[in-house]
Amino acid sequence: MSRLIDFLVRPSKALRVAALLAAILLFGLLFVLGIASAGRGWLPGNTDKLAHFSYYFAIAASVWIAVGGRRWRAALWALIAVALIGMLDETVQMWTPGRTPSVYDWLADVAGAACAVLLLGRLRALAVRRSRPTDISEHSQTASRII
């Protein structure tokens, strides 16, 4: 499990490129499928918010990894990118037959992005904390040298 966390929060250059390509692909599919209204009507009731949440979670996670997983910068870029993409998606729906824009959809998009950023940021914090030496005997030796 710790290798998977390190893989995600300390991404290699190859993973960063793959994440950027994934974000671009997800963004492109969003508009292609949205214009074709392919995503409409396949979820019952208001559960489309779950689809918005999940899809934008994936986009934000991809952007976070693509910018290198640096906590504040990655979080900022991921949140800005998803908020703008979601806003653009909802705006395009004004001119797409059979689609209606919704502030609630956009809020679900931003909530998904925020959860992705919070989760990845927390995993990064845990990985950084785990990589620091925490051996008690090491601290004891340091303290005995001081005294």
Residue 147 is classified by DSSP as: -
pLDDT at 35: 67
> pLDDT tens digits, residue range 71-89?
677 788 789 888 999 999 8
> pLDDT tens digits, residue range 90-122?
898 888 877 788 899 999 999 999 999 999 888
User: What's the sign of the alpha-carbon dihedral 24, 25, 26, 32?
Assistant: positive
CA distance 142 to 64: 38
Contact residues for 130 (Cβ-Cβ < 8 A; gap 6+):
2
By 3-state DSSP, what share of the chain in percent is helix, strand and coil, each rounded to 5?
80, 0, 20
**pLDDT interval class at 123 (50, 70, 90):** confident
Residue 97 is classified by DSSP as: T
What tokens were used for 33?
A: 């499928």
pLDDT at 76: 85
Contact residues for 73 (Cβ-Cβ < 8 A; gap 6+):
67
